[in-house]
Chains A and B, each alone.
Chain A
Amino acid sequence: MLSAEEWTILGTSLSIAGRAILFSLPLAIAAAWVLGRSNLPGKSLLDAIVHLPIVLPPVLVGFLLLMIFGRRGAIGAWLDETFGITLAFTAEGAALATAVMTFPLLVRSIRLAFEMADPGLLEAAAVLRAGPWDRFLSVALPLAGPAILAGAVTAFAAGLGEFGAVIAFASNVPGETQTLPLAIWSAMQQPDGEALAYRLGAISFTVAIIGLAAAELLQRWARRRHAG
């Protein structure tokens, strides 16, 4: 059904979006907890930073990543010298760019789940001798679990479509960083590439619909869980 090239492109996309979500999920959970449940000072600043990728042009985000994580960037140079890790123009870099772009989406849905949870349940856990970490791991996280999964699936589906930041930071290397939208863009540049662009578009569409449907199912599960 799919050609070898199409399988490669789909595989690259799924792998990059998957790694992006795995990488950003713990951070997103931490940020969502701080934003949704804590009284820490500087919350508004964190909120603004988390949401920056939504309002900045994606290409600019990619450019900034290049400035920071590129071989000559402050962190990129250190990673290269210390661990021999290169991010720019690699699949890992594409995953990083996707993670940054989908981060706000992920934080928003997880934060909503934390805010939805009854704070009284955390008090109930406290008087049963559960300390702060215990309460988080045994009550807050399991209750938010389905919503976190739903957010992760939505962010994953959105990550499959990430274009500007990925192409600016990781370029468009077939088999390495060429994801579905990048491949569609490449096909559009070729005189006879219209048919391929359509096929890739159809694949993109199908994967996105599956992702959204899965997210919706998980959301319903989440609501049932909170209804207790």
Chain B
Amino acid sequence: MSEFGPEGLCVEDLRLLQGKFELRGSFRAPAPGVTVVFGPSGAGKSSLLRVVAGLERPASGVIRYGDEVLEDVATGVRRPPHARDIGMVFQDSRLFPHLTVSGNLEYAVRRCPAERTRPDVSAIAEEVEISHLLERPVGRLSGGERGRVALARALVSAPRLLLLDEPFAALDGRLRRSFVSMLGEIAKRQAIPMLVVTHLIDDAVELADHVVALRDGEIVAAGSAHEVMAGGVFGDLLDRRDHGVRLTSGALADEDSPHAGKGVWLRADNVLVAAEEPRGLSARNVWPGKLAGMEVEPDGAVVLRLACDVGTVLARVTAAAVRDLELEVDQPIWAVVKTHAV
């Protein structure tokens, strides 16, 4: 972890007790960059964010930002949430119902310390696409609009670190994709370090420079997205139908803007395998490679490990397919992927 500079968040030997639930572990979220907190529901992702924001009191551990100690249970140091300079976007938006949209934004701007560069509210409103909503009471916003206003409010408060607790959880399909893309763009343009909670692998891959993986309250892996997502521990956190590999952005032919993030997740279920070079296919990605390994799953399906130029790719096929193609380890194969399947 020494590759990271002094800037950023550092959490050491954290222990948080909530009834029978216990959250524990250490991680770093380097700045700048987006760190995704990933794990199944109930793993403790939101609790982790709440501890960092100062909304929960840990039983032990140290939380630092740069050189500054925000919390050290052993020495009794504790900065309250309002003095941490850490912003947060909650899952349920938490807009102030007695204020309009612009009232909510002003609330944040007024409390931004004078020594900070005042954020350009209208530029952020434009970027988050809420300029037309400014005079609206928050009671008359849709779910997606509420999420965007909550994001804008957090951005105009100009925190040194922004925590996002699945702000797109309530959105589905296209709306969620566009929110995630927008978030990635903003992280890049505003150069604001973010800690983003999600349980959806596609969102995690699109946003993450770094990953903190959580299971049953334990931080089981933390590091660069490339490293952590390639590890077996990470694979264990996924649903069976989500098993796959992370490809860096640009690996797929004709990749369009919704996938212009940090990477894409290629599910094993979305990869076809050919024993001979296929021709005349509509699929835009045909990658020659070698069959590097086979693993039979409990239900009889076989996961093939394919060593291709773009990296290792997984393909889940039936046992019958393996028999018919007479597949053997080390033989040449072609992996076939539709761009839109990703």
Binding site for B on A (CB under 8 A): 118, 120-121, 123-131, 134-135, 138-139, 142-143, 145, 225-228
- CB pair B98–A142 under 8 Å, yes or no, is yes
Instruction: Give the CA-CA distance A118 to B311 in the complex, in Å.
Output: 49
Binding site for A on B (CB under 8 A): 53-55, 80-88, 90, 92, 94-98, 107-108, 111-113, 138-139, 153-154, 157, 159, 163
- CB pair A130–B111 under 8 Å, yes or no, is yes
- CB pair B90–A129 under 8 Å, yes or no, is no
Instruction: Give the CA-CA distance A165 to B196 in the complex, in Å.
Output: 60
Taking CB as reference atom, which chain B residue is nearest A143?
B98
Measured between beta carbons, the chain A residues less than 8 angstroms from B55 are 123, 126-127
Task: Assess A128 versus B157: contact at CB under 8 Å? Given A123-B81, A123-B94, A138-B107.
Answer: yes
Taking CB as reference atom, which chain A residue is nearest B141?
A228
- CB pair B96–A121 under 8 Å, yes or no, is yes
Looking at the complex, which one of A118, A127, A143 makes contact with B86 (CB distance below 8 Å)? A127
Instruction: Give the CA-CA distance A118 to B139 in the complex, in Å.
Output: 15
- Contacts between chains A and B (CB distance < 8 A), count: 75
- CB pair A118–B94 under 8 Å, yes or no, is yes
Measured between beta carbons, the chain A residues less than 8 angstroms from B98 are 142-143, 145, 225, 228
Measured between beta carbons, the chain A residues less than 8 angstroms from B88 are 124, 127
Instruction: Give the CA-CA distance A123 to B90 in the complex, in Å.
Output: 10
Most chain A Cβ neighbours within 10 Å, of B53, B97, B111, B138: B97
- CB pair A228–B86 under 8 Å, yes or no, is no
- CB pair A129–B94 under 8 Å, yes or no, is no
Taking CB as reference atom, which chain B residue is nearest A122?
B94
Closest 9 CB pairs of A and B: A228-B97, A124-B94, A126-B81, A129-B111, A127-B88, A128-B108, A126-B82, A228-B139, A142-B98
Instruction: Give the CA-CA distance A127 to B157 in the complex, in Å.
Output: 9
Most chain A Cβ neighbours within 10 Å, of B85, B108, B163: B108
Task: Assess A227 versus B139: contact at CB under 8 Å? Given A120-B92, A120-B94, A126-B80.
Answer: yes
CB distance from B82 to the nearest CB of A (A): 5
- CB pair A228–B81 under 8 Å, yes or no, is no
Looking at the complex, which one of B80, B95, B154, B157 makes contact with A228 (CB distance below 8 Å)? B95
Instruction: Give the CA-CA distance A127 to B90 in the complex, in Å.
Output: 10
Measured between beta carbons, the chain B residues less than 8 angstroms from A134 are 82, 111
- CB pair B82–A131 under 8 Å, yes or no, is yes
- CB pair B97–A127 under 8 Å, yes or no, is no
Taking CB as reference atom, which chain B residue is nearest A121?
B94
Interface contacts beyond A126-B82, A135-B82: sample of 8 additional A-B pairs, CB < 8 Å, sorted by A: A126-B81, A127-B84, A128-B157, A129-B83, A129-B85, A129-B113, A131-B82, A138-B107
Measured between beta carbons, the chain B residues less than 8 angstroms from A126 are 54-55, 80-82
